[in-house]
Each structure stands twice: as structure tokens, then as C-alpha cells.
Structure 1
Amino acid sequence: MSPRSPREISVLVPPDLAPLYPDDPSRIGPYLVLGRLGQGSTGTVYAAVDTASTSSGDRLVAVKLLRSPELESPDVYPALAQRLRNLSAVDSHRVVTPLAFDADANPPWLSMPYIAGQRLSHYVTKRGGLGVGKLIALATALAEGLSALHARGVAHGSLRPSEVLLESHGPHIMECAVAADSERLRGSGATWLGPERYRGGVATPAADVFAWGAVVAFAGTGRLPFGPGEPEEISQRVASGSFSLDGLPKGLRPVVGRALDPNPDRRPSLREVIGAVIAVWQTENTEAGEVPGTDSREEIGRILEREWHGVEPPPRVPEVIRLEGRMSNHRPTRTLFLAGAVTVAAVLIGGGVWGISQLTGGGTEAGPVADDISDVPEEDPAEEEEDPGTLVVRFDPAEQEESEAGEEERAWTYTPVTREDDIPRNQGIPSHEAWAEQWEEDGDPAEAVIRPDAEVKCAKFCAAAEHVFLDEDARGTWDLTGSDFVGYLSWGPVMIVEITFAEDQEGDGPREVVKVVELFSD
């Protein structure tokens, strides 16, 4: 085999890495950008290559471009730089901290270790409340991570299940770079905001303790501690201390209840929280006859970490990155590296397909395919019509009628919709209601049954709050099943999705859906 070109390096990348948008950067600081990892309210996170690293397993990093309303004034940049310096000094593997940053860049950016895992919000949505062991491990780790942040003068300010990443070594607290403004959090984050934050107060350690209690309550029960509803309704329950901890292990209820106290002065310190949670763990293990022979915090931490060994991310895919031309102007070419050879192929990324011409940097012009163009038969217009087995529809929870059938057997009402223009891009993330209003009805309402094993690709509605998971065609990329999906149809927002009907259906009942892809805009 010929030696690899010095302008090529091997990198292990996520198997479902979403492609870059046309206006995405090809380079951020010293990093070569490969694809999108996610987009949130404070910016976009990219997978990128640290070309200075000598190990293919360590070359991949996550680089975030910071764009948010909190950064619109130049007066905040000195404070941002100080916060990033403080974050860089945090000594805790429970917090995702910067490897490097540039607060003076336009826009500012920071790089972080790439960590493959699953957000707590998705994990609980799919599996329900955590078992006692995992819950205690989560509660302890989050409290230790927040304590490490506070020791460096950093209050998180917006801790939520969507900002906790789970992997085989435990949970990690993310999204620490910008303390989100409380006004912007009221809509989607009312459950996790203490009353003082909801009223416009700044992020404080006491507010983080409240968020800790709400996250632990959700993780242990699979339900929102203050119940569903409009933000104003939830905030009123928060202010009156009207929460439910039914289903949470009894030993944890006192400390979680204190953390959710409307009065920040009555909430426990994180030192108290950690002590109380570990005491519950020791009591649980004593009753089971499995209490360890040491009270060392490090030993207890190692034991609790074992709870996460089954949370394994998908293996990364080795790819060869060609460092061609002037890297600041040319997007790198990514070629799948299989069986020890470089193969130019169509690479499936995030549900989209990149063709050979994109991989090789070829132009858009095609060579001649016929001596006489008149010999090419005209396409039958009938063949260009959309497959009748696929429709774009609106699901509105307000239009669903009560049914005695279980969620997996019941029929769900949908309305066909269409739009005359293309899906808008790069205009900010709209609300679901505003997004739904952009579509016009294109037929009469009908009913369909969604198969439990239906393939579901989410974009926003069932993804992490403030995040969007899209491919280059504005189609969802976050994987769920039909069983997961139907839960959102009873209480979630209005959704615009493409549904595909089964071809093998028998009988005359409502049509069965085998695939759902949410359409959305960023």
C-alpha cells in the first residue's frame, strides 16, 4: 500500500454526523470543520479536526460558535472572556470545559472535548424514570459538577435535562459558556427556573440548586415536577411550591423537596445535597446487605460510576480527511476509510446522501450521455408525481379526539398541508405555532394508526429543548420509534411531518404509518 499523503489525516467521526450548511465556516480558529453536531439557543456546535493532534482518536473536537441575544452588546465581551477563563480552570470531569477559546473573535468560539452520549432528556423520554442506582449516581454527579463550577465563580443559570449528557462514565454538564437570560428561558424552561430567576434575577448558586432538584425529580419519575401547562401556570406552581415527587425514591424526597423551595435562602447548599444523597445510597446498600467497606468519597464515586457502563455511544467511523489547497477557503473532503483502503463512495450522513462528486470535489457539469439529445425520451409527467403513499401533514393535539384504545392502537387525526415557497433557512428557530401557520391545508382531515415500530426522525418537537437536529434538506435526523412518537401527539406542540404509509396493510381500517419525518426550519 502506498504511504498516505502528508495532506491527509485519519479521524474517527460520529456515524450520523450532519453535513454542513452552505454558509457554515470551513475553519474556526485553528480547527478544520467537518459537520454539525447540534444547534441551540446560544450557538451552533460543529465537529472539527485538531490537525496538531498525533492520535486519530483524539483529533475530533467539538467547536461552538457563540451566537445569542445575550452577546449582542459589545459591553458583555469582557465578562464573557472572564467566564470562559474561569470555566477553563474548572477541575471536574462532570463539566464540559473549554480546551481553547477566543472571546474577541466575531463570533466568539470555544472548543471542547468531543463526548459521544445521549442527553438526559432523550434518555428519560425513551426509558422512563431512572432506577435508584442510576438516579443517585446522577444526583451526586450533577451536584459535584455544579459545586466545581461555583468554586470558580461560575453559576450555570440554565441547567435542564437537555444540557446533561450521559455516557459510559456518567453525566456531564454542558452549555456553561453563556448564562442564558431568564426572560428568554421563561417559555421553554419555566420548570427549571426558581421564582427569583423567573422574575428576572441573575444566575446564582441557589438558582442552580433549584434546577438540580427539578432535574433530579424529572429523572427519577419521568414527569415534570410542577406538571405540564403554559409557562405562566408552571411559574405559579413554582412560586407556591406546588410540586409532586410521587414515584421518586423516598430517601431522596426530603433533599429534593428542600431544593425546590420557592425561597432561595431555605434551599440546601450543594455540600448538604451531596452528603444527603450519599447517605441515601449508603442506607439503600445497608438494607440490601451490600454496603462497601469504605466511606472514601473517591471509592464511592467509582462504585456509582459503574451504573453508567451500559450507556454506550455508537462506535465512531474512521475517515480520511484531505487537507487540500488553502484550508481557510476550501471545505475538507471526507472519504470513508474501510478495510484498510480509501474508498470513494456515497457516504450516508445524518439521513442525507453525499454523492461521489461532492466527495471528490467535482464540479456540477456532467459529461455527454448521448450523441443526440433528441433520442432521450421525455419523462412521463405521471411518473413525477409524488408517491401517494407519502404525505406532508399537520398533527395538532387540539384536534385529537378522546379514544378508549391504547396509544399504539388508536387512530390519530391529521390534515394534509402544503406550502408554495421553499422551507426558509438561517432565519432563526421559529416557535412550533409560527412554523405551523406557514403551511396551508391541502385536503380534508383523516385518521391513521402509527405502528409502534415506525421509523421516526425528529427535528425539534421531541428533541432537546432549544436544539434542532436537521440535515441539509431541513428534515429531522434524531431517531425515535412510533411508540416514542405517539406520546407527543397527546400533549406536544403542533407538528408538521412527512408520513409514509404501509404498503402491506390488510383490512379496511385507518391507514398505518411506517415512517415519520419532521420538517422544520432554522
Structure 2
Amino acid sequence: MPSSGPFALPAHVESALVPLSARLVVDRRGSTVWDVQTSNGRYAVKLGYATQRHPWTALAPAREAAILRQLIPQEILSGDWQEGTWSAQPWREGESLFDLWKPGRHHTRPATPNLDQALSCAVALADLHAAGWTHGDVQPNHVILGSGRAFLIDLALAQGGEVPDAHDFPYRGCLVHYEAPEISRSILETGAAVPTRGADVYALGASLFVSATGWRHVSYPDDADRKDQRQAIVDRPHRPINVPGSLGKLIEQMMRRNPADRPTMAEVCAEIRNAL
């Protein structure tokens, strides 16, 4: 049986980082994450371990480290530990999109979202796409806003560059609440999918929608299993987009069922800039 977290920092990871302090941030779905302060800076340290549902999570920190080394100039540390792989990457200070928009969130009458913040989220994803990558796991908790910009985090499922075979694994979807219909359909039919920029656009639209309203993009019971959730995404239209202002109309375009009908992220950024 797979082990269960949370896990303390292994001794060899502590030796590599020499923490001044360490705070447990989260432990779920095969990942224990620590906020670690060192004399060289602040790091998000991830310990990946296998779960019964997701054995690939043991490899996710090392896969993300390989991706980040191709995207950012800061040093990324990674290696193996007894349950899987680990990584240390720069800590991104700020609030998630979901938390930031909580004060205005309402199912029926949401407040008009902050367009500058929406633009920051869109620019971060557009920049990733322009660099030749897809994220593959866009969700509101993976967009951190701080210091006047947005950061995309949790890139372990991203596609677009070289990843060592020892740390690679097939893409089997993301958090279902933000999956585009074509991704859910492929996983139901074949067990895997190919993440695309169009699916990223849909996922950001769904992220903006849930952050503004509190509603998932498609209705299904809270206790539905993932197969039934995906089937609902395939079979049902998304909820009516009741986000006020120009962003609501743009979210509607981003969440079109046909990927070819969705705007690119560059077009999304241009539309938001025009509305400012």
C-alpha cells in the first residue's frame, strides 16, 4: 500500500537547503509542500509520493523541476527521496485568484471582477504559451497574484520541452472542475489526453468564473466520482455565465465547446486591455 503524508523534510533535503524555518503548507493528492526559509531565499519544497489513485505523483516534483529549469533563471533543486522525488523552487508570494476574489463572490449576483487582476492572470498564461508550453493544470489556486503580477505554479503536467524519461508520465487530465470538454472526453474514451493551449484557455475561463461566482463551470453532485464528473462535462453545457461586465462576455468565449472557436491567450489579453 502507498504511504500517506504529510512527510517531514528528509535529512538530505535539509542538508541541501539548511532551513532557517519550515512551515507545512499543504498535503494532498500525493504531494507534501513546505514553505522553507533559508539564508539564500525562500523556497516551496515539494515531496512527491505515490497514492493508490495517482502513482505518478511520486515523480511530479522532479518533472516540474525539469520544466522550470527551461522557463525561469533561478536555481531549481531536485532529487530522489524514499517515497519518490522532491524539488525546491522559488516561493511565489501572493494570494491565489480564488482567495483574492472571495469578497466579491456570489452565486447569483457576483461583483464586477477586477480587470487588472484578470489581465495579470491572462498575461501569465499567454507568456507560457508564447514560450511554446501548455500548462495542463490551470486552476484558480495555481494562479498567484502578488507584487503587481501573476505567477503560474504547479507546472508538473506542462508540455512543451524535454523531460527526462525517468521522470515523465502520461497526461491523464487535471482537476476535473476545470477540464475542457475535449480533455474529459479523451480521458473517458482512452484513459489519457493531450493538453492543449485551447484547453488551457477553457480552464482559465472556468477559473475566472468559479473565482467570481463560486460555481463550477458544469453542474454535478459534490460527491460524484471523477468518471461521472467528466461525463457531465462532456454531456452538458456549462452554466450560464453571470459574471458582470466585459469579462463575463470574454469568459463565455473562452469556454466555447469547440476549441477552434475559443480565442487565443494573446487575444484574451487584448480584449481585457481594450476594456480597461
Q: CA deviation at 1:147?
A: 1.7
Q: CA deviation at 1:194?
A: 0.6
1:46 aligns with 2:46: no
Change (3 A) 1:270 1:214: same
Q: Letter of the aligned partner of 1:274 in structure 2?
A: C
Matched with 2:91 is 114
Structure with greater helix percent: 2
Structure with greater strand percent: 1
CA contact (8 A) 2:140 2:207 kept: yes
Q: CA deviation at 1:272?
A: 0.8
Matched with 1:192 is 178
Q: CA deviation at 1:88?
A: 2.5
- CA distance in structure 2 between the partners assigned to 1:141 and 1:193 by the alignment: 21
Q: CA deviation at 1:277?
A: 1.4
- CA distance in structure 2 between the partners assigned to 1:73 and 1:170 by the alignment: 29
- CA distance in structure 2 between the partners assigned to 1:82 and 1:23 by the alignment: 23
Change (3 A) 1:277 1:235: farther
Q: Letter of the aligned partner of 2:219 in structure 1?
A: G
What is the TM-score when the length of structure 1 is the normalising length?
A: 0.40
1:99 aligns with 2:99: no
Matched with 2:163 is none
Q: CA deviation at 1:192?
A: 0.4
Q: CA deviation at 1:27?
A: 4.7
Matched with 2:121 is 142
- CA distance in structure 2 between the partners assigned to 1:23 and 1:178 by the alignment: 24
Gap runs ≥5 in structure 2: 159-168, 188-192
Matched with 1:65 is 47
Q: 1:153 aligns with which of 109, 123, 132?
A: 132
Task: Give matches, 1:224-303, under 5 Å.
Answer: 224-229=216-221, 230=224, 231=226, 232=228, 235-237=231-233, 239-246=235-242, 248-281=243-276
Change (3 A) 1:224 1:81: closer
Matched with 1:220 is 212
Q: 1:86 aligns with which of 61, 70, 75?
A: 70
Q: CA deviation at 1:260?
A: 0.8
- CA distance in structure 1 between the partners assigned to 2:25 and 2:201 by the alignment: 29
Change (3 A) 1:82 1:116: closer
Change (3 A) 1:239 1:26: same
Q: CA deviation at 1:126?
A: 5.7
CA contact (8 A) 1:86 1:154 kept: no
Q: CA deviation at 1:21?
A: 6.5
- CA distance in structure 1 between the partners assigned to 2:64 and 2:105 by the alignment: 37
Change (3 A) 1:113 1:22: closer
Matched with 1:360 is none
CA contact (8 A) 1:239 1:262 kept: no
CA contact (8 A) 2:117 2:145 kept: no
- CA distance in structure 1 between the partners assigned to 2:274 and 2:202 by the alignment: 20
SS in 2 for 1:88: coil
Change (3 A) 1:73 1:222: closer
Any idea what the Cα deviations from partners look like across 1:344-393, whole Å, max 9, x if unmatched? Answer: xxxxxxxxxxxxxxxxxxxxxxxxxxxxxxxxxxxxxxxxxxxxxxxxxx
Q: Letter of the aligned partner of 2:9 in structure 1?
A: D
- CA distance in structure 1 between the partners assigned to 2:31 and 2:196 by the alignment: 23
Change (3 A) 1:216 1:49: closer
SS in 1 for 2:126: helix
SS in 2 for 1:227: coil
Q: CA deviation at 1:151?
A: 2.7
- CA distance in structure 2 between the partners assigned to 1:222 and 1:110 by the alignment: 32
Matched with 1:415 is none
Q: CA deviation at 1:210?
A: 0.6
Change (3 A) 1:123 1:238: farther
Q: Letter of the aligned partner of 1:36 in structure 2?
A: L
Gap runs ≥5 in structure 1: 1-19, 54-58, 90-97, 282-522
- CA distance in structure 2 between the partners assigned to 1:110 and 1:23 by the alignment: 14
CA contact (8 A) 2:113 2:212 kept: no
Q: Letter of the aligned partner of 1:128 in structure 2?
A: R
Q: Letter of the aligned partner of 2:268 in structure 1?
A: V
Q: CA deviation at 1:191?
A: 2.5
CA contact (8 A) 1:147 1:270 kept: yes
Change (3 A) 1:204 1:21: closer
Kindly report the root-mean-square deviation, in angstroms, between the aligned alpha carbons of the 2 structures.
3.4
Matched with 1:404 is none
What is the TM-score when the length of structure 2 is the normalising length?
A: 0.71
Q: Letter of the aligned partner of 2:198 in structure 1?
A: A
CA contact (8 A) 2:177 2:216 kept: yes
SS in 1 for 2:205: helix
- CA distance in structure 1 between the partners assigned to 2:16 and 2:272 by the alignment: 43
Task: Give matches, 1:428-467, under 5 Å.
Answer: none
Change (3 A) 1:120 1:139: closer
Q: CA deviation at 1:24?
A: 3.4
Task: Give matches, 1:491-510, under 5 Å.
Answer: none
Matched with 2:194 is 202
Report the number of matched residues. Answer: 240
SS in 1 for 2:24: strand
